[in-house]
Structure 1
Amino acid sequence: MTEGSTAVPGTAGDRSPLPTTAAEARAQVQDLLDTHPEAPSRMVINDILLVTSELVTNALRHGGGLTAFHVAREPDGLRVAVTDRSPDLPRTSASASSHDPAGRLGGFGWPLIQRLSRSVTITPAPPGKTIEAVLAYDLPAL
């Protein structure tokens, strides 16, 4: 996969443009889910789209911008990888919520990503990092 591209394995080299918003990333994931032979439940799809949105929003808001986006189907789930320009690791606010310098409410996304994902890994990708979430096609155990 080249920087700035979206590669969707199994689609013969499909290259979609790098999403510039969380909505564009969700649309790319939804397009991939629409091709799934046995679609997950609407609740699972909503969780997958929510995690996608949080990962991309965090990269745009806190990570210096999105440099790569990759989504791939797996036998039991979906893998979403987001690369940004910041080496800083995600963190949860000391309080249940926080305000960024622009006054926006925040602090809920990272715990949500961790809770809804089967696994989350962070890998250095100089100058930044890649955060990869694997989401199951069935509901997570709460």
Structure 2
Amino acid sequence: MVASELFTNALRHTRGTCTLELTAHPDSTEVTARDPSPQVPCMRTPDLIGGTGGFGWPMVNRLARATHVTAAPAGGGGKTVRALLPR
């Protein structure tokens, strides 16, 4: 669910190339999504009526041991979103 959410949001909210990477560690799995948008995910009140979302980022943060957002180097634009999941 976390990988699907991160990649779906990257595709939904950006234009350009998005990538998804899964890395297995001895006690965890790292999900990494990269996209060209500088806008970082944020917590917001879920929209129960209008259908505009707001459920995904809180879900990712509840399921993951840790989440981290890194801006691309200056001039490169974009960001990397990582979620570390228990194995």
Structure 1: give runs of 5+ residues left out of the alignment.
1-49, 138-142
Moved over 4 A (4+): none
Mapped partners of 1:96, 1:60: distance in 2: 20
Mapped partners of 1:127, 1:74: distance in 2: 28
Q: Percent identity?
A: 42
TM superposition shift of 1:105: 3.7
Equivalent residue, structure 2, for 1:26: none
AA at the equivalent of 2:46: A
Number of residue equivalences: 84
Matches within 5 A, 1:36-55: 50-55=1-6
Equivalent residue, structure 2, for 1:79: 30
Mapped partners of 2:30, 2:14: distance in 1: 20
Residues 17-46 of structure 1, C-alpha deviations (whole Å, 9 max, x = no match): xxxxxxxxxxxxxxxxxxxxxxxxxxxxxx
Structure 1 or 2, whichever has the larger Rg, is: 1
Structure 2: give runs of 5+ residues left out of the alignment.
none
Cα 1:115/1:65, change in 2 over 3 Å: farther
Equivalent residue, structure 1, for 2:60: 113
Identify the structure with bigger relative contact order (alpha carbons < 8 Å, sequence gap 6+): 2
Give the counterpart of 1:133 among 59, 83, 86: 83
* TM-score normalized by the length of structure 2: 0.83
Mapped partners of 2:51, 2:35: distance in 1: 21
Matches within 5 A, 1:1-142: 50-93=1-44, 95-97=45-47, 104-125=51-72, 126-137=76-87
Bigger share in helix: 1
Residues 64-102 of structure 1, C-alpha deviations (whole Å, 9 max, x = no match): 354322111001010010001101111222x32278xxx
* TM-score normalized by the length of structure 1: 0.53
C-alpha RMSD of matched pairs (Å): 1.9
Cα 1:74/1:109, change in 2 over 3 Å: same
CA contact (8 A) 1:66 1:82 kept: no
